[in-house]
Amino acid sequence: MATLPLYAQFINLLAALLLLLSFAMLAQRRVLSLIDLFAAQGLALAASTAIVAYGTGQHHLYWSAGLTLILKVFLLPWILYRLIRKLDVKWDVEGLINVPTTMLIGIVLVVFAFNLAAPISQLASTVTRATLGIAMACVMLSFLMMITRRKAIPQVIGFLSMENGLFFAATSATYGMPMVVELGIALDVLVGVLILGVFFFQIREQFDSLDLRHLEKLKEGE
């Protein structure tokens, strides 16, 4: 087996880090730590994108990396911090399923994701193709996190982390999406978080809590 160039090994390392962070987020029960983990994930993503840009000479990826850094490492965590302080939510959040079971389901998902990515990786011609499985696993783990959390803010973090996974998948499969699309997605995420912030206030106003169980009353009928 031919040895990979150094930058590719770095990317693989960062990919592994991403996956590890995803698992950590799945297991983390405290909201503030969750945000820190999310910021760390963003940092890993920005670093890996920058390295891909350096290694392959795709200069527009530098822009993506910068955007990711600003948006996902600084801006979004800051917004979320402020939200939490204003909303004065509890630190500890209970999941729907206990942590060990969640982790086990997560492992199954990772296996599935690697299985899925294997044929695609063979078709792709990029150096980073091996990391596609990890990217897909990140998407699925984030989705799992959204499902298992009961409170609104962890769900939003899950949503944002899913976007991280998608971004990573795009970078590893095709060296990133066109700049216009990336800018559009970045804007979408930002606007989405702002709107969700408004929703948080409304939900809390209505139910005195951010627990989404209260929303079950909104069901039609009965």
Shortest distance (Å) from residue 221 CB to another protein: 7
Phi-psi region of 220 (alpha: psi -120 to 50; beta: other; left: phi over 0): beta
Question: What are the beta bridge partners of residue 30?
Answer: 92
**Which residues in 84-103 contact another protein (CB under 8 A)?**
96
Of 133, 136, 128, nearest to 175 by C-alpha is: 128
Question: What are the beta bridge partners of residue 95?
Answer: 149
The 3-state DSSP class for residue 176 equals coil
Shortest distance (Å) from residue 74 CB to another protein: 28
**Token pair for 141:** 């783990």
Question: What are the beta bridge partners of residue 92?
Answer: 30
How far apart CA 55 and CA 8 sit, in angstroms, is 8
Shortest distance (Å) from residue 69 CB to another protein: 29
Shortest distance (Å) from residue 96 CB to another protein: 6
Q: Considering only 36-44, 63-71, 141-149, 179-187, which stretch makes contact with another protein by CB under 8 A?
A: 141-149
Backbone angles phi and psi of 178, in degrees to 5: -60, 150
122 makes contact with another protein (CB under 8 A): no
How far apart CA 40 and CA 6 sit, in angstroms, is 23
7 makes contact with another protein (CB under 8 A): no
Show the binding pattern over residues 181-220: x = contacts another protein (CB under 8 A), - = does not: -------------------------------xx-xxxxxx
Q: DSSP character for 222?
A: -
How far apart CA 139 and CA 117 sit, in angstroms, is 13
Decide whether 70 or 97 has the Cβ nearer to another protein.
97
Shortest distance (Å) from residue 216 CB to another protein: 4
How far apart CA 218 and CA 128 sit, in angstroms, is 46
User: Applying CB under 8 A, which of residues 144, 156, 193, 196 lies at the interface with another protein?
Assistant: 144
User: Applying CB under 8 A, which of residues 87, 103, 130, 146 lies at the interface with another protein?
Assistant: 146
Decide whether 70 or 146 has the Cβ nearer to another protein.
146
Shortest distance (Å) from residue 97 CB to another protein: 10
Residues lying near another protein in the complex (CB under 8 A) are found at 96, 112, 116, 119-120, 140, 143-144, 146-150, 155, 212-213, 215-221
